[in-house]
Structure formats: structure tokens, C-alpha cells
């Protein structure tokens, strides 16, 4: 038909694109308004479209069949389209409207910069939908469309959050990872290394040092002198020196420094101090300090008995598990420093206190949502920590009238009482888990009665 418009439908895949081909009725219009293809980027289902006569009444022959909810507009300037609207269930549906007068030449889908406010209902939003008029925006499009700059690229989003990390922090993290994975150091050692290195990094930043590449031997000695002026004990400064020496070797091996600046650093000598120990009478008073009216009475009694009976460290007792405690054999499998395992015998009083705790109190403390294999639990059902062990010991020591008593005091007392009873020094070393027997020899200077007995027995003129 020469006077009718023709519709062509191109279907490609599940998302079909409908194109409209307009042909003018008069020869003049044909020469001024050639065939123009307007893309409609709206998914349409496979359907047959028939020719539409401009201005024909709905339902007449040659008109397109449109859904009942979308009647053709009455205006002759608008052609009814049977393409369904965008599916937004929270908004009312409206038919897509296409202007009948299409300008000659290719239609651009990018609006000019002047007509680009950026939200739905604007000329820019209309252009992005394939129309050159703002009136072609369907009512079903929400009003939260993003702003697209003229280049078609979204503007970069400003990064927010904490400021950039210290130039020293990455190397500290790499070093701690190396110590944990390659060397297998304990968590307490890693925490000490991290504290010492971050304190050194803070001091270097106060001196305007740019990074570890500028670390020198004079800077290290100045930092150690600064620690001494702060009143740190010699043992604490010695730990800082050990940390810096290990970290210096790491910086050299990782090619961050050509030479280890801490190579000439020497370890300060510590004074040999005699550890504080409790007498047997004081031990009895401490073990009898928990009162039966305490809600955690059975747990505290078992904790104190196990500390003194096995000579364990606070962290070793806190990490003791049910599978590591063999009640029938009277021994405990303890994991010490450096994940070293040792077997510690447990005496009868400690075993009896532990049995009472396991039978009466631990089932009440255990929570179904917090299953654990740890032996000693807190009031909330969580495993206790070494801090809790320290708090329990100091609490009952004050109640017993004792001062300056901590978990390691019971460990010192355990070793001293064994040596006073005639135990072999090598056996005490194994029970304590010392790597070097020189560490155990200090307990030989504590018991004066034993030394006197040795002199009386072996000296030719006692």
C-alpha cells in the first residue's frame, strides 16, 4: 500500500528489537524525509505487527492489534505501538509513545551536553531510551537513573575510609607472617614482636625517618637509650634488643636493606635474681582460700591444685583440654612454648579436685551454642585465658593474706619444693619444660636447707 506506513520486525534472540520504518505518502515528503530507522531498546515478545494507517480508527482493517489496557492515542500525531511497557511492578504501566514526525538523518542515542540533567524525565533520559524528545519517556521508568557524563564513563567515586597506613606497617606485617608461618613462633612471641616494632616505628616517625630503608645503627641505639630514660627494666630492654636483631636480619634477607643495621647490637646482661617462692604452709593457705559459697568454687580449687601439682604456666593451664588430661593414668599432656609437648604427672589432690569440677560444675557452665574441649571454663561457658588464671590466683592470694603472688609463683614453688625433697635437677628440667638446664639451675640457689645438707654430707670439714 503506497499510502500506508510499513512496520518491520527483527527478532534476534530472546531480547528482540522492534524497528519502525516510515514512508511518506506524498512525493515531496518522500524526498525530504527518507526512510529512518528508530531503534527501540525495549524487549518485546515474538508477535506479529500489522500495518498502521495514520489516523485510522481503532479496530479498522489495517490497524495494529494492541492490548486492551493500552488503547491507541486519539491524537493523529502519535502512532500506537503494541510494545509492552517496562515491567516495574511498583509503578503503573503506560504505553510507549513514538512521535510520528522523525527528523531526517541518523538518530543519536546520546543527548547533547546541554540536555543532560541526569534523572528520569529529562531529555538525557529520553535520549538514552532511543527518542529525541522528553515526552517519549515511559511512566514506568523509576526516577533514580544515574547521571552519565558526556564521555559515557561514570565519574570516579572518591575513596573514603582510614588514611593510608604507616610506611613501616607493611614490613612489620610481613615479618610477623614470616615468624608465624616459617618459624612457628607462639602467639605471645608474635604479640611481643609486634608491640616492640610498632613502638620503634612510632619513635622513628617522631624523628621524621621516612621508612625502614633509613634505619641505622645510631638510630637504634638512640631508641634503646630512650627506652632506658623511660624507666624500663633491663629485662624489657633486652627483649626490645632481641626483637630488633631478628627484624634486622629479616630486612636484610628480604633485600630491603643492604646491610643489617642491628648486626653490631649486643644483648644486655640481666641480673640473676632469685625467684619468689612460697613455703609449704603458705601453699596450704592459698589452696584453702576458695570458699564454698563462691559460684566458681570447684573450678578455682581445680585451677590452683593443677597449677601447683604440675608446675604449669598460666597459658599452658588455660589451653589444657579434656583429651589432654588422662585421669586414669594421672598425667596431663601439656603444650608449652614453641608448641613443645610434654607429659606432666598430676598428684591425687589435684585429680580429685578436677573430678569434682568435671562432674558437678563444668556441665552447668558448658553452653550448647559454645561447644569446647577446654577443661576450665568461665561463667559464660567460654574457655578461660591466661589473664583469668592470673586474676583467680591474685584474688585468692589476697584472701589468704599473701602479697605479690602470681601464677608463676606457684611454678617456682613447684620446682623449689621438688629440689628440696631430693629430686634430680635433670628431672625437674623435664617437668618444667626448660630447653636449657641453666634456666633450671636457678632453683638450686633458692633452698638454703638443701645447700646446707649438701655441705654437711659431702664437705670434709662440715
| pLDDT, position 441 | 85
| pLDDT, position 98 | 47
3-state SS of 412-457 is HHHHHHHHHCCCCHHHHHHHHCCCCHHHHHHHHHCCHHHHHHHHHH
Q: Which residue has the higher pLDDT, 309 or 139?
A: 309
Average per-residue pLDDT in the chain? 74
Q: Which residue has the higher pLDDT, 202 or 98?
A: 202
| pLDDT, position 316 | 93
Query: How far does CA 449 lie from the centroid of its chain?
Result: 55
Q: What is the pLDDT of residues 102-121, one digit of tens each?
A: 445 544 444 444 444 444 44
| pLDDT, position 43 | 52
Nearest in space to 88 (alpha carbons), one of 44, 138, 133, 14: 138
- Region at 36 (left for phi over 0; alpha for psi -120 to 50; beta for the rest): beta
Q: What is the pLDDT of residues 323-357, one digit of tens each?
A: 999 999 999 999 988 778 999 999 999 999 999 99
Of the candidates 198, 239, 434, 450, the residue annotated as catalytic is 434
- Here the cell at position 304 is 590452683
Catalytic residue at 459? no
Block residue for cell numbers 606457684:
410
**Distance linking the first and last C-alpha atoms of the chain:** 138
Catalytic residue at 308? no
Q: What counts of helices (H) and strands (E) characterise the chain?
A: 16, 8
Res 366 pLDDT > 60: yes
Which sign, positive or negative, has the C-alpha torsion 114, 120, 126, 128? positive
| pLDDT, position 456 | 84
Q: Could you say which DSSP state residue 233 is in?
A: -
Q: What is the pLDDT of residues 32-54, one digit of tens each?
A: 444 545 455 545 455 444 444 44
Residue 183: band (very low, low, confident or very high) from pLDDT cuts 50, 70, 90: confident
Of the candidates 180, 408, 450, 453, the residue annotated as catalytic is 408
| pLDDT, position 39 | 52
Of the candidates 245, 333, 337, 453, the residue annotated as catalytic is 337
Catalytic residue at 313? yes
Catalytic residue at 217? no
Q: Which residue has the higher pLDDT, 448 or 95?
A: 448
Q: Which domains does the chain have, with CATH numbers?
A: 169-253 (1.10.150.130), 280-456 (1.10.443.10)
Residue 462: band (very low, low, confident or very high) from pLDDT cuts 50, 70, 90: low
**Going along 295-366, which residue ranges are E strands?**
325-326, 331-335, 341-345
Of the candidates 313, 362, 412, 417, the residue annotated as catalytic is 313
Res 375 pLDDT > 60: yes
Res 158 pLDDT > 60: no
φ, ψ for residue 71 (rounded to 5)?
-70, 155
Catalytic residue at 337? yes
**In percent, how much of the chain has pLDDT > 70?**
63
CB 124 within 8 A of CB 148: yes
Mean pLDDT of 144-162: 45
Of the candidates 362, 411, 412, 417, the residue annotated as catalytic is 411
Mean pLDDT of 189-204: 93
Mean pLDDT of 216-229: 93
Catalytic residue at 159? no
What residues contact 368, with CB distance under 8 A and at least 6 apart? none
Give the Å distances, CA to CA, from 77 to 73, 85, 98, 331: 9, 20, 9, 98
Res 80 pLDDT > 50: no
Amino acid at each position: 500500500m503506497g499510502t500506508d506506513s510499513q512496520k518491520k520486525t527483527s527478532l534476534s534472540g530472546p531480547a528482540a528489537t522492534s524497528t519502525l520504518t516510515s514512508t511518506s505518502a506524498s512525493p515531496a515528503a518522500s524526498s525530504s524525509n527518507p526512510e529512518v530507522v528508530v531503534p527501540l531498546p525495549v524487549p518485546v515478545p515474538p508477535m506479529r505487527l500489522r500495518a498502521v494507517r495514520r489516523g485510522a480508527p481503532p479496530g479498522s482493517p489495517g490497524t495494529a492489534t494492541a492490548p486492551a489496557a493500552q488503547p491507541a492515542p486519539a491524537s493523529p500525531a502519535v502512532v500506537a505501538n503494541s510494545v509492552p511497557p517496562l515491567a516495574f511492578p511498583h509503578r503503573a504501566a503506560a504505553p510507549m509513545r513514538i512521535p510520528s514526525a522523525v527528523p531526517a538523518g541518523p538518530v543519536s542515542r546520546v543527548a547533547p551536553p546541554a540536555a543532560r540533567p541526569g534523572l528520569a524525565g529529562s531529555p538525557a533520559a529520553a535520549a538514552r531510551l532511543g527518542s529525541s524528545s522528553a515526552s517519549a519517556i515511559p511512566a514506568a521508568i523509576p526516577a533514580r537513573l544515574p547521571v552519565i557524563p558526556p564521555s559515557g564513563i561514570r565519574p570516579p567515586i572518591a575513596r573514603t575510609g582510614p588514611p593510608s597506613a604507616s610506611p613501616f606497617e607493611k614490613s612489620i606485617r610481613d615479618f610477623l607472617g614470616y615468624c608465624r608461618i616459617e618459624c612457628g613462633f607462639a602467639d605471645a612471641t608474635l604479640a611481643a614482636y609486634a608491640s616492640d616494632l610498632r613502638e620503634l616505628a612510632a619513635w622513628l616517625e617522631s624523628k621524621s625517618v621516612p621508612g625502614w630503608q633509613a634505619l641505622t645503627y645510631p638510630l637504634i641505639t638512640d631508641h634503646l637509650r630512650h627506652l632506658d630514660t623511660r624507666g624500663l627494666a633491663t629485662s624489657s630492654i633486652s627483649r626490645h634488643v632481641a626483637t630488633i636483631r631478628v627484624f634486622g636480619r629479616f630486612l636484610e634477607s628480604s633485600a630491603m636493606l643492604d646491610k643489617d643495621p642491628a648486626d653490631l647490637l649486643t644483648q644486655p646482661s640481666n641480673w640473676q635474681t632469685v625467684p619468689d617462692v612460697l613455703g609449704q604452709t603458705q601453699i596450704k593457705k592459698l589452696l584453702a582460700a576458695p570458699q564454698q559459697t563462691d559460684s566458681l568454687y570447684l573450678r578455682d580449687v581445680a585451677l590452683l591444685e593443677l597449677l601447683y601439682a604440675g608446675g604449669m604456666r598460666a597459658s599452658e593451664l588455660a589451653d589444657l583440654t579434656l583429651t589432654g588430661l588422662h585421669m586414669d593414668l594421672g598425667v596431663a599432656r601439656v603444650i608449652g612454648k614453641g608448641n613443645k609437648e610434654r607429659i606432666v604427672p598430676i598428684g591425687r589432690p589435684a585429680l580429685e579436685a578436677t573430678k569434682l569440677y568435671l562432674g558437678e560444675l563444668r556441665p552447668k557452665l558448658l553452653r550448647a551454642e559454645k561447644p569446647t574441649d577446654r577443661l576450665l571454663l568461665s561463667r559464660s561457658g567460654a574457655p578461660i585465658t591466661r589473664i583469668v588464671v592470673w586474676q583467680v590466683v591474685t584474688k585468692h592470694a589476697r584472701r589468704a593474706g599473701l602479697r605479690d603472688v602470681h601464677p608463676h609463683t606457684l611454678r617456682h614453688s613447684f620446682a623449689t619444693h621438688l629440689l628440696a625433697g631430693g629430686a634430680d635437677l635433670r628431672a625437674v628440667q623435664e617437668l618444667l619444660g626448660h630447653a636449657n638446664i641453666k634456666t633450671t639451675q636457678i632453683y638450686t640457689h633458692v633452698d638454703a636447707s638443701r645447700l646446707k645438707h649438701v655441705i654437711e654430707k659431702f664437705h670434709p670439714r662440715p
